Structure 1
Amino acid sequence: MVIAVKLRAVFLVLLLGLSVISAGCIGSSSQKGAMKEETLIIFHAGSLSLPLQQLEKEFSSYAEKNLGVKVTFQDEASGSVKACRKVTDLHMDADIVATADYTLIPQLLVPNYTDFYVLFATNQIVIAFTNKSKYANEINSTNWYEILAKPGVTFGFSDPNQDPCGYRSVMVMKLADLYYGKPIFETLVEKNTNIYANGTHVYAPKEIEVKSDKVVIRPKETDLVGLVESGSLDYFFIYKSVAEQHHLRYITLPDEINLGDFNKANYYAQVSITLGSTGKTIKAKPIVYGVTVLKNAPHRELAIQFLKFWLGKEGRKVFEENYQDFLNPPIAFGNVPKEIKPLVKVEG
């Protein structure tokens, strides 16, 4: 009887032990199978919104299968100047900053916030509109400035102090003075805003003022898309890729003024602009986009993996599907991470 009781006690102890071990195995198996989750924070130019959405979706699938990480994205679209100032002035955390003007990165972020950057895509300025726009069937590449000046016609561009598309649009109108030999800048810009020029040098006051209802200015170029689509704005200066992405009608401008021709770099450089927001002076130049991973990126390792995906064949395909020409190869400056070196041409 005593032996039987002892045997039962031993059996219960063993059974309990096995249950604990079994539970432990299940727990460790569950922990092992749990996928790491990370959120990448990206401050980017508004004109990159659509290609980035597609690229992020594809990278999320790639990361889950190949990196064992479930990736989500926190995107903040804005003018590129504002994107940089979120880091420098507001000290906001971000993993990646991508700008429509690569020169903003060395001007504003190097060396305190990043030590490398990559030039990856190009674009050009066009004038976009819809069938609802006044004189939509008359405007062309030779008479656009006359159409914009007509009574009742409205046009827009983004804020030069916040957005490269804004200061580029203003410089396009100044370049038009030189190309056409007519006072286009005075007629379209100076008469309607407090932006002014001294010779070929343009000044954008810190607080931009609009003097008439002819001109509409918004923080970033993509803010104007809806106004044109609804018919409340006739025309706006925008990147060709954005006009294509939104299926807008547009006219191309002569290569001498559209900032899309690398062979015209010296011609563009005749015009410059000083921004009241930063005090910086920027020369007109061919449009080139830039991207960097910040030094203190909360998820720097994963951000570099995303940048590698971005600069590889997957990224190239996405940008070209979104009507944006990709540099071949992208050009990198500074302390370039080893992970992306095979994908870029390192300069300086």
Structure 2
Amino acid sequence: MTKQRLGRSGRTRRAFLAGVGVSASVLAGCSADSGRSGGDGDGGGGDAGKNGVDGPTGTGTTGREGVSPSGNGGTRMESSGSTADSITVFHAGSLAPPMEAAGARFEERTGIRVNREAQGSVASTRKITQQGRSADVLGVADYRLLRDGVLPAFGGWYSIFAANELTIAYTADSTGASEVGPGNWWEVLTREDVRFAHSDPAADPNGYRSVMAMMLGAMDFRGRSLYGEDVYDALREQELVPADTETALLGQLRAGALDYAFEYASIRATEDVRTVDLQPRVDLSREGSEFARFYENAAVEAGGNTYVGAPIAYGITVPSVANAPEAGRRFVEFVLGEAGDRITDETGFTPIDPAIVPRSARQATPEAILEVAEPRRSLGSLALDVGHRPPTHRSATTNTPARTPWDLLP
């Protein structure tokens, strides 16, 4: 049965941001957007809210509205001695909706202006590790870019704060729009008259995750695969890679240049496009050990690195090269707090509540962050400690041992 869905509650990104108080001038200054879904089992998921990467149990603590832990809970965050009047935030394109809304709220509370640069997470990270640029906050769509690429040379700690999942976006005018669904998306995408795309795997986690999803569909899970190797080969032959980030594909989708695009499911909350619920075996949403071990079977080589499949988890940090580290820390504290959680949820992501910091980096983590985040060694199947390296895999694309991933340092 064909399953078609419009953006959650029928709201566009502009309507949501206007609803949380973002001015028209702020709306006009942002160019990146993003992805959400749910459901259990191995069929297409429903829109049940949480996407299968469950946050640990726990309760909130003081300071969760972005107020300094010693603050009195007023409407403005207390000054922590920082004289910075602005901060620079590098972030994944998919994080544009929550970062835009959080930036507006943070500026309203503190008077500190938030300047954002949205790009693919790999490219955003390399601005710091390879291009010599500085940022006060770095937010990425794959926390391992922080764990293995930023720490310890360019930072001492990070936090996991949100989860997501893959989906396929399309419009009412897309070829096959009346037929496509969870049970046949691969058949529709491999038709000769269909144009589908994903972002650049060398620049953006959505790109290498899209390739992983196609790989995983051809692999046996619980004794069966979604399709054979011939279909996987056809998908790879027909794929287009016209942009660095998945958010840049949305304009091409609406303009009719593309029929389908791999996106993050959080776009359902902020974009007026239709989406296909992908099976949990391929949508990278489940942190349980059975799914996580299966995801690890997919390895993608891109840009000199090998990326290994894992559940989708977003990370954030204050790099050691920050010009305004205290103001950056206050912004991260706000994002991890209750107000930030609400924004994260309303823009289609699954908040990790409380947020998580690696136990191995506890001593380097600011006390204010520890008021809103829990030190742990793992989140489900996800290893958090700095210095962790995944097991050696055989690359699904080259059949050679996969190199250690995330080597983003010069």
- Corresponding position: 1:268 with 2:295: yes
Cα distance in structure 1, aligned partners of 2:159 and 2:242? 30
Q: Structure 1 residue 180: deviation in Å?
A: 1.6
Q: Percent identity?
A: 32
Query: Contact conserved, 1:49 with 1:77, CA < 8 A, in 2?
Result: yes
How far the C-alpha of 1:185 sits from its partner, in A, is 2.3
* 1:75 pairs with 2:109: no
- State the 1:71 CA deviation: 1.3
Q: Which amino acid aligns with 1:182?
A: G
**Residue of 223, 238, 246 corresponding to 2:248:** 223
* Secondary structure of 1:217's aligned partner: coil
2:283 corresponds to: 258
Which letter maps to 1:337? Answer: P
Per-residue CA deviations over 1:260-310 (Å, capped at 9, x if unaligned) read 1112111111111222x2x33221011000000011210101111111111
Partner SS for 1:87: helix
Tell me how far apart the structure 2 counterparts of residues 143 and 118 of structure 1 sit (CA, whole Å).
37
Secondary structure in 1 matching 2:218: helix
Residue 215 of structure 1 aligns to a residue whose secondary structure is: coil
CA displacement, residues 83-109 of structure 1 (integer Å, 9 cap, x when unaligned) = 010011111111111000000112211
The alpha carbon displacement at 1:37 in A equals 5.7
Contact 2:200 2:241 in 1 (8 A): no
Kept in 1: contact 2:171–2:259 (CA 8 A): yes
2:406 alignment partner in structure 1? none
Paired residue type of 2:122 = V
Question: What are the within-5 Å matches in structure 2 for residues 121-136 of structure 1?
Answer: 121-136=162-177
Higher helix share: 1
Checking the alignment, whether the CA contact within 8 Å between 2:210 and 2:262 is kept in structure 1 is yes
SS in 2 for 1:266: helix
Structure number with greater CO (CA < 8 Å, separation at least 6) is 2
Aligned equivalent of 1:118: 159
Q: Within 5 Å, give how 1:268-287 maps onto structure 2.
A: 268-275=295-302, 277=303, 279-287=304-312
1:340 to 369, 374, 381: 369
Q: Does 1:62 align with 2:109?
A: yes
CA contact (8 A) 1:38 1:299 kept: no
Q: Which residue of structure 2 aligns with residue 322 of structure 1? A: 347
- How far residue 332 of structure 1 moved from its aligned partner, in angstroms, is 0.4
Q: Are positions 1:236 and 2:261 aligned together?
A: yes
Separation in 1, partners of 2:226, 2:120: 30
Q: What value does the CA root-mean-square deviation take over the aligned residues?
A: 1.4
Structure 1 residue 255: Cα displacement: 0.7
Task: Give TM-score, length-normalised by structure 2.
Answer: 0.67
Match of 1:43 in 2: 90
CA displacement, residues 164-221 of structure 1 (integer Å, 9 cap, x when unaligned): 00000000000011132412321111x24xxxxxxxxxxxxxxxxxxxxx62431001
Cα distance, 1:243 vs structure 2: 4.0
The residue type paired with residue 271 of structure 1 is A
The AA in structure 2 aligned to 1:161 is A
Structure 2 residue 282 is the aligned partner of structure 1 residue 292: no
Query: Could you tell me which amino acid in structure 2 is paired with residue 123 of structure 1?
Result: N
Residue pair 2:107, 2:114 contacting (<8 A) in 1 also? no
TM-score by length of structure 1 reads 0.79
8 Å CA contact 2:84, 2:327 repeated in 1: no
Amino acid at match of 1:229: R
Q: Is the 8 A contact 2:269 2:346 kept in 1?
A: no
SS at match of 1:108: helix
Alignment correspondent of 2:136: 95
- Structure 2: state its 5+ residue gaps: 1-81, 220-224, 378-410
Could you say which structure has the larger radius of gyration?
A: 1
Q: How many angstroms does 1:38 deviate by?
A: 1.4
AA aligned to 1:46 is G
Q: 1:156 aligns with which of 186, 197, 205?
A: 197
Determine if the alignment matches structure 1 residue 175 to structure 2 residue 191.
Answer: no
Q: Distance in 1 between matches of 2:128 and 2:243?
A: 21
